[in-house]
Amino acid sequence: MRKALEGVRVLDMTHVQSGPSATQILAWLGADVVKLEATTGDITRKQLRDLPDVDSLYFTMLNSNKRSITLNMKSDKGKQLFVDLVKKFDILAENFGPGAVDRMGFPWEKLQEINPKLIYASIKGFGDGPYKFYKAYEVVAQAMGGSMSTTGFPDGPPLATGAQIGDSGTGMHAVAGILAALYQREHTGQGQRVTVAMQHAVLNLCRVKLRDQQRLAHGPLNEYPNKEFGDEVPRSANASGGGQPGWAIKCAPGGPNDYIYVIVQPVGWAPITQLIGRPELANDPDWATPEVRLGKLDKMFQLIEDWSADHDKWEVLAKLNEHNIPCGPILSTKEIIEDESLADNEIVVKVDHPERGEFTTVGMPIKLSDSPAEVRRSPLLGEHNQEIYGNELGLSESDMAELKASGVI
């Protein structure tokens, strides 16, 4: 079956997480993604290693379905080969520190000259302005994009979230930009520059907190658990953030992830009162409407917890869902990796690797009926030098041996 992006070629200079998460999606959509690495390789090949001398899970879980070539972009010969490569690709993606590609000698104007159809996608920490030249990592973006100030308990410090919204979140925004640029190129015949700043992507994901910042000007945020409000959106612990109240409530036997997140829609109140053994509260004027419950959400969730604390989270999930009540047990990473339905959905998948053996990774979250993704292993460093430099660019074996000996590839 033909894949959605079959025939599209990506020269992937990305490293670490944000960029690789984007190009991995393109690879799963069927693009030919060739990862161009320094001769020392993407730093994450060696970071957080669980097995000696074997590409880390950090690397293998973000670079599947790609090919790998090495190229020293600081050598003259490397720059020449790069020019030959750029002519053959549709997309160039990178997430180096600000200015790195310019310093290699390839500002956007030059890349456009080499290949006017090229789509050049860059991820940086920040947009134009005072932070433009600052480097950034995941939690820096969470800090400056509105996530950390709004995550945590009101009386505790700002918290980072485990979801990699700064890195992979930005990568997904980059995918949207790249695909739109590809589509526009169908009409214009021209490539274009796609830039995404991690701070901007996190802010986009924190959009509702800016909603609340403006609502705050008109009075307290009643659906927040906080008792007092200043002039900025406070950390609101596990409040749902939406128009319907929610909270993480305890379940048996009381372990660190024995919780279930429950949302009480207006229609859910009556069945909940039945379930928790307090049917009289369904029509009690002190409890019957969302408006009267709003002032005592902590008490409402305590009532539900008094019931849930005697049942395990799976039982609570089943019982609440019998009444169509939105809820979700807090799943640990162990539970997720062992979950059969996630494996059946091919979102948790097993992949074989020549050096590490079989390992588990997260598969393709976007399902296309006519372009199913098949997750294949990540490449070894420079595994495809022969295919690209030899077969495609026509370099001889002796040329390649010389390039290798002189540290160009």
CB of 126 to ligand COA, least distance (A): 9
Euclidean distance between CA atoms 55 and 62, whole angstroms: 11
Q: Total number of residues binding ligand COA (CB under 6 A)?
A: 23
Q: Count the helices and strands in the chain (H runs, E runs).
A: 17, 11
Q: Does 282 bind ligand COA (CB under 6 A)?
A: no
Hey, which residues are catalytic here? 167
Give the residue, chosen from 30, 125, 169, 363, that forms a contact with ligand COA under the rule CB under 6 A: 125
**Which among 260, 273, 252 has a CA at the least distance from the CA of 318?**
260
Which residues on neighbouring strands pair with residue 252, listed in sequence order?
312
Q: Does 58 bind ligand COA (CB under 6 A)?
A: no
Q: How far is residue 21 CA from its own chain's centroid?
A: 7
- What does DSSP say about strands 259-263 and 327-329: parallel, antiparallel, or unpaired? antiparallel
Q: Does 68 bind ligand COA (CB under 6 A)?
A: no
Give the residue, chosen from 22, 27, 29, 71, that forms a contact with ligand COA under the rule CB under 6 A: 71
Euclidean distance between CA atoms 84 and 203, whole angstroms: 38
Give the residue, chosen from 24, 63, 65, 72, that forms a contact with ligand COA under the rule CB under 6 A: 72
Q: Other C-beta atoms within 10 Å of 164: how many?
A: 18
Q: Does 88 bind ligand COA (CB under 6 A)?
A: no
Tracing tokens 């901007």 back to the chain, one arrives at: 200
Residues counted in the chain: 409
Burial 236-246 (b: 16+ CB within 10 A, else e): bbebbbeeebb
Binding segment (CB under 6 A) for ligand COA, from list 72-80, 183-191, 213-221, 254-262: 72-80
Name the 3-class secondary structure at 360: strand
Q: Does 38 bind ligand COA (CB under 6 A)?
A: yes
Q: Which positions make up the binding site for CoA?
A: 17-18, 71-74, 95-97, 103, 135-138
Closest residue to ligand COA using C-beta atoms: 97
Nearer to ligand COA by Cβ, of 103 and 299: the residue is: 103
Nearer to ligand COA by Cβ, of 142 and 240: the residue is: 142
Q: Does 181 bind ligand COA (CB under 6 A)?
A: no
Nearer to ligand COA by Cβ, of 73 and 281: the residue is: 73
Tracing tokens 């906080």 back to the chain, one arrives at: 226
The tokens for 220 are 């307290």
Q: Which positions make up the binding site for substrate?
A: 242-244
Sites of contact with ligand COA (CB under 6 A): 16-19, 38, 71-74, 95-97, 100, 103-104, 123-125, 135-137, 167, 198
